[in-house]
Amino acid sequence: MRSTVSRFALYLCALTFLSSRSAAEPSDNAYSGAGLQLLVGDHFEPLPLIETKVRSHILGFVSKTVVTQSFVNPYDGFIEATYVFPLPETAAVHAMTMRLSDREVKAEIKRREEAQRIYEEAVDAGRTAALLNQERPNIFTQKVGNIPPGERIDVELTYVDALPYERGLSSFVFPTVVGPRYIPGTPLGGEDLEPTGRIPDTSVVPDASAITPPAFDEGELGQHRIDIEVTVDPGVPIAALRSPSHAIRIEKKSDSLAIVRNDASDRAPNKDFILSIDLRGSGPSLTVLTHRQGEEDGYVTLALQPPALPEPSEILPKDMFFVLDTSGSMSGVPLEASKALVIEALKNLNPRDRFTIMRFSDNVSTLSTKPLPNTPQNVRSAIEYVSKLQGEGGTEMLSGIEKAIAGKPEPGRVRIVFFLTDGYIGNDDEILAAIAGRNQAQARIFSMGVGSSVNRSLLSNMARVGRGRLAVMRFDEPVLPYVRRFYDQVRSPILTDVSLEWQGLEISDQTPAIVADLFDGQPLLVHARYEEPGKGNLVVRGKLGNKPWHKVVPLDLPHEAHRPAIANLWARDMIRGWSDEEASQPGSREDEIATLALGHNLLSHYTSFVAVDRRVARPATEPLIPVAQRLPLPEGVSRNALGELSRQEIPPGDPFITIHAPVDARRVTAFFPFGLVKDLKLDEQRGAWRGRFLVPAGIPDGYYTIVVAIETHSGLITYHEEVFHLDSEGQEMIIDFDDIELQPGKARLFRVDTIEAAAEVYIHCETLGWRRVAMVAEPASQSVRWNKWLKVKRDAPAGQHEVLVVMRDLAGNRIEQRVTVTVAGEHR
């Protein structure tokens, strides 16, 4: 924490340095309308990221995508920009280029530590440089150092990916925002913290500061915009193109070629861009793609459609475990969509199926400890249970997983864990290690992502390691057709216990090594490497229902074929498999991953791209100002997702900050040591500037400094500090009737001070006849001071009585406190 505060202080010094200078007018070629705005002199200026361009070309089921991030420095000082952003979790990033005004620099792939050293040395020497790191398979950090005043720098990334295919529908997904993460564990110290992070590294998530970028307030989007263009060229006629997420424009070139763009009115980077490509009736039963150059190894990707459905009598009965995430980030629309989905699934169980329901947030509770038979009465009870669920608290997903996979498999039945969540956590490896190492029930994990920007990396890996499937539903999609389509697959797996046998072919390094179950409409996708070309067969074996099944597929692996994307897809999938092993044994595959990534020019957790310009841009006498791009909250996500510190656990949880500023103040901004920047609002009744903020989970007790910038109408900007005390043992309510003596037959005024504004306060004591007696807020107290005259009945039992005082704050948290009062006896 000490490192975080010191780096934060340096960041504020940089802001103060900018503000103390005369109002700097940006150069003519500077962009002046985008990004996070900071105080510069007497006006506000944007942060450097102004636009992200995405240009993708889909050939068959493989896409090649170029992402261009444009950074502009509107200040008259040199800056270092940091931007945390997402890409698809299966993307194979294989190139990066930094473009300056009159030249370009191609990045080199290096071991991560070496790339970091090269970048830091270049920045210290005044050279413009760019560094790209992978924090998670779907979270990346882009740093661009020494951006000169008024100049623009473009960083171009290139990746390839395989598109999912289901019943004639293919989909292209481009994520645009990193959602907030729940970070468990004890905060760590040290000098390696990412200063732009909103939450410090912890014992459970040692890179938390790298995956929790600063965020805008709820409803704020900033000015950064995203421009997407996708060329769809599947090689077969396109039946239809649609996007459930964005307004799009479609330019049809022919029956099998089209260009899709997001509309200019829908370019805010706060939700996944989803393009659904309908190829119904055109999908081949087998697709084989190869790559081989000269005498080098060859690579093959194979997509095979599953066989026809088994007879209903051959489908094994299931134990369905519906596990719902009811944490704060799921509050509102996402949770309501999840509940509707589960209710619909409950109505469509097979007759011999059984079920139970679990919910998790800070803890786990269940409808029943054992699966219930599929009877109308049990289904009605389950629907009632689901309907009452509400979103609150943190995302303790590990507890939910462990309970759902506990126990032993039951002969003649299969356990299906139907997991509904947005996946906004940071301890991904703990979750995957639990599924891989503690799944004694041999449960199939079906992860259902609900939201506009879910954590697809975690959810897809859960499904892959758990031999299930992944699906993602936007919270605003019609639930009925969606759940029926997905649940049809869950209910009736086509081919189980799948194995592959390569006959007459020199195949090595097949990935995935263990093939998951096959489901209706979803092809088997396998990558492999071959040393010698030739002809042979692939034999696919498994159980169709409860009967043995096999299929022989002839293959011809050529001497020459030019599809380099196939080699990159194989390498990326091999790295994913090794990364699964590292979930339970961190670092065990580091050398293999780094060697393979370097050999294929691929970004990975152990390799990074670095680009350094040869020219010196920043003189040694000029300071370098660090700035971090704030991200909007994903569409549909509440601000509650950004802090999991509830009032019940560590007061004050989600308090108000109140600043008494001069009467001519026109803007008051608070800079918190957790990476949050908050514009306060004027409360005219109180004559003060106020705003609610959230303290991230895991912050230890202590005193923290909040820096406040006050801007007056005359343009004068002053800074002062407010000390914030975080005290987990502190009072949440001040009660004035603790341990007092009451007289039978007499009334007394009871007072409660809730410290922060509350929505409701009530008193409850059965033995005194007080049943949930609501207290009343004092006039002009802003719901802080509450009182109530209560009379003690004449026949009240003498002695001590426990009184329950309950408060619900404005964020919906329930806080209770028990106090003791004494009723005097008759001798009094």
Q: How much helix, strand and coil, in percent to the nearest 5, is found in the chain?
A: 20, 40, 40
pLDDT of residue 724: 61
- In sequence order, what are the beta bridge partners of 182? 425
pLDDT of residue 23: 28
Secondary structure, 3-state, 581-615? HHHHCCCCCHHHHHHHHHHCCCCECCEEEEEEEEE
- The number of angstroms, rounded, from the C-alpha of 308 to the middle of its chain's C-alpha atoms is 37
- Torsions phi, psi for 571 (to 5 deg): -65, -40
- The number of angstroms, rounded, from the C-alpha of 11 to the middle of its chain's C-alpha atoms is 26
Same fold: 316-491 with 643-726: no
pLDDT of residue 33: 29
| Beta-carbon contacts of residue 333 (< 8 Å; ≥ 6 apart) | 475, 476, 636
pLDDT of residue 692: 72
Please give the Cα distance from 189 to 600 (Å, whole number): 36
- Domain ranges for the chain: 316-491, 643-726, 733-823
Q: Provide the whole-model pTM.
A: 0.67
pLDDT of residue 22: 27
- The number of angstroms, rounded, from the C-alpha of 53 to the middle of its chain's C-alpha atoms is 22
Q: What distances in angstroms separate CA 413 from CA 318, 358, 441, 443, 462, one per listed residue? A: 5, 20, 11, 10, 21
CATH homologous superfamily of 643-726: Immunoglobulins (2.60.40.10)
| Beta-carbon contacts of residue 550 (< 8 Å; ≥ 6 apart) | 539, 540, 541, 542
Please give the Cα distance from 502 to 513 (Å, whole number): 13
pLDDT of residue 549: 86
pLDDT of residue 287: 82
pLDDT of residue 393: 55
CATH class of residue range 316-491: alpha beta
Tokens in use for 795? 């026949």
| Cis previous bond, 269, omega within 30 | no
pLDDT of residue 125: 96
Contact of 341 with 482, CB cutoff 8 Å: yes
Q: Average pLDDT by consecutive 10-residue portion of the chain (828 residues)?
A: 29 32 31 35 58 95 95 87 92 96 94 97 96 94 93 95 83 90 69 63 83 74 89 91 93 95 92 89 70 92 76 74 80 75 84 89 80 94 88 70 86 84 78 86 84 81 83 72 68 75 92 80 85 92 82 92 94 91 84 96 97 93 85 69 33 62 77 76 71 70 71 68 60 75 86 80 90 81 77 88 86 79 73
CATH fold of 733-823 reads Immunoglobulin-like (2.60.40)
Q: How do strand 681-683 and strand 240-242 relate by DSSP bridges?
A: unpaired
pLDDT of residue 482: 67
Q: How do strand 607-616 and strand 127-136 relate by DSSP bridges?
A: antiparallel
